[in-house]
């Protein structure tokens, strides 16, 4: 493997050619190895070294939703690995005019080496992956955000030094970010406590599956409606926007439902004194998080955002090289 010329690690051979739709599709060992690879690729990049693992490869980047971090980090990641990234908005494709998703998957398989898609419907991405003969990477759907989760755990590992036994408190909407986060944490032995208001809990079937993985790795995933209970003695506090893209008509109702769930100076007093604050961004200051927290000394949100690049390079290198 070309990577061995640069660092004493190989790409994760067991995931080569696989789709990444959720972390349920990967073993705990594979997630741990991808995390190690992401860290190694970041170290190389900081020394201006970029292993040419995707030379001759073209990756299609399909977007149904607007994006800053996902688009830029994937384009840069593919380019740094020597490949070519091709941006495509769904409205500019025939898929945006009613072409069956299965037809699109089969057509693109004849042109590209891989697809990253940021979509509205997880079901649609599953259909695309089933039809395509090339790997499909989920850049975000209504149910999962796996690339974000790998960047999250990479950030925790960098700052805390280890993952097993850490307590992560997630306070807020039980959304796609929360779903992928609990699965990644389950694979890595991180304890998770989730606080969401009634009606905004994470999906019960996803929770049950993640809890089984966590048990195998010596950790737990618990839920509550009490933010203080979730944050008690937490090593990491994580939140996301209360109203995600496409939910704007629910803004008023959500603001009422999430009253009391803001990450602020009062709430963080219940966490450990050296707690780490994370947010996947974009953030709404003074809504889900106080400015003093996200802009304070405990916050690592920009390191976390940068780590999208390195986490995704590990995924791309292992699946496509």
Residue whose pair of structure tokens reads 């990234």 in the numeric block = 85
Span 4-57, pLDDT tens digits: 999 999 999 999 999 999 999 999 999 999 999 999 999 999 999 999 999 999
Task: Evaluate whether 159 touches 301 at the Cβ level (below 8 Å).
Answer: no
**In the predicted structure, residue 254 carries a pLDDT above the cut 80:** yes
* Separation CA 197–CA 190 (nearest Å): 23
* Share above pLDDT 90 across residues of the chain, in percent, rounded to a whole number: 92
Query: Does the active-site annotation cover 147?
Result: no
What is the residue-averaged pLDDT of the chain?
Answer: 96
Span 89-132, pLDDT tens digits: 988 887 767 789 999 999 999 999 999 999 999 999 999 999 99
* Separation CA 309–CA 41 (nearest Å): 10
Q: Which two tokens stand for residue 196?
A: 């969401």
* Separation CA 30–CA 183 (nearest Å): 13
* Separation CA 219–CA 106 (nearest Å): 41
Catalytic residue among 69, 80, 113, 148: 148
Catalytic residue among 19, 235, 262, 280: 280
Catalytic residue among 240, 262, 304, 312: 240
| Domain at 146-304: CATH code | 3.40.50.1370
Q: How confident is the model at residue 266 (pLDDT cuts 50, 70, 90)?
A: very high
3-state DSSP: the chain helix, strand, coil percent, rounded to 5? 45, 15, 40
* Separation CA 94–CA 97 (nearest Å): 5
Per-residue pLDDT at 127 = 96
H helix count then E strand count, the chain: 12, 9
Beta bridge partner(s), residue 277:
237, 299
Catalytic residue among 145, 187, 254, 298: 145
Among 152, 162, 239, 181, CA closest to 23: 181
Query: Does the active-site annotation cover 148?
Result: yes
Per-residue pLDDT at 193 = 98
Domain ranges of the chain: 2-144+308-320, 146-304
| Domain at 2-144+308-320: CATH code | 3.40.50.1370
State the sign of the Cα–Cα–Cα–Cα dihedral 286, 202, 216, 187.
negative
Catalytic residue among 69, 71, 118, 279: 118
Span 59-78, pLDDT tens digits: 999 999 889 999 999 999 99
Among 18, 245, 2, 15, CA closest to 115: 18
What does the radius of gyration of the chain's CA atoms come to, in whole angstroms?
19
Per-residue pLDDT at 97 = 72
User: Residue 132 contacts by C-beta under 8 Å, 6 or more apart in sequence?
Assistant: 105, 106, 108, 109, 115
For 211-239, what is the mean pLDDT?
98
Distances from the Cα of 143 to the Cα of 118, 126, 181, 200, 214, angstroms: 12, 11, 11, 13, 19
Query: Does the active-site annotation cover 91?
Result: no
Per-residue pLDDT at 15 = 98
Q: Do domains 2-144+308-320 and 146-304 have the same CATH topology?
A: yes
Catalytic residue among 71, 254, 298, 308: 308
Per-residue pLDDT at 1 = 64
Listed in sequence order, the DSSP H helices in the chain are: 28-46, 69-80, 101-109, 122-131, 146-160, 176-187, 204-216, 227-231, 251-257, 265-268, 291-294, 301-320
Per-residue pLDDT at 93 = 84
Per-residue pLDDT at 90 = 85
User: Does residue 218 or residue 65 have the better pLDDT?
Assistant: 218
Span 289-303, pLDDT tens digits: 999 999 999 999 999
């Amino acid at each position: 493997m070309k990577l061995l010329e640069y660092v004493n690690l190989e790409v994760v051979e067991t995931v080569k050619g696989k789709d990444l739709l959720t972390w349920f599709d990967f073993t705990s060992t594979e997630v741990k190895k991808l995390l190690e690879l992401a860290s190694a690729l970041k170290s190389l990049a900081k020394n201006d070294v970029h292993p040419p693992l995707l030379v001759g490869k073209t990756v299609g980047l399909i977007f149904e939703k607007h994006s800053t971090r996902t688009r830029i980090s994937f384009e840069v990641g593919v380019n740094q690995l020597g490949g070519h990234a091709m941006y495509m908005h769904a409205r500019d494709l025939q898929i945006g005019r009613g072409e069956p998703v299965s037809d699109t998957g089969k057509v693109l398989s004849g042109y590209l080496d891989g697809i990253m898609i940021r979509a509205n419907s997880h079901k649609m991405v599953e259909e695309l992956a089933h039809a395509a003969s090339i790997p499909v990477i989920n850049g975000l759907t209504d149910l999962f955000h796996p690339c974000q989760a790998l960047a999250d755990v990479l950030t925790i590992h960098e700052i805390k030094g280890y993952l097993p036994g850490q307590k992560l408190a997630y306070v807020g909407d039980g959304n796609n970010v929360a779903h992928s986060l609990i699965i990644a944490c389950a694979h890595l032995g991180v304890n998770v406590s989730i606080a969401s208001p009634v009606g905004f809990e994470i999906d019960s079937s996803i929770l049950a599956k993640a809890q089984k993985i966590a048990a195998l790795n010596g950790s737990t995933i618990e839920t509550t409606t009490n933010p203080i209970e979730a944050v008690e003695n937490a090593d990491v506090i994580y939140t996301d926007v209360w109203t995600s893209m496409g939910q704007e008509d629910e803004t008023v109702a959500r603001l009422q439902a999430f009253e009391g769930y803001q990450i602020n100076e009062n709430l963080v007093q219940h966490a450990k004194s050296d707690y780490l604050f994370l947010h996947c961004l974009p953030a709404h200051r003074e809504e889900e998080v106080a400015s003093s927290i996200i802009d304070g000394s405990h916050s690592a949100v920009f390191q976390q955002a940068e780590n999208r690049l390195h986490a995704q390079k590990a995924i791309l290198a292992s699946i496509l090289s």
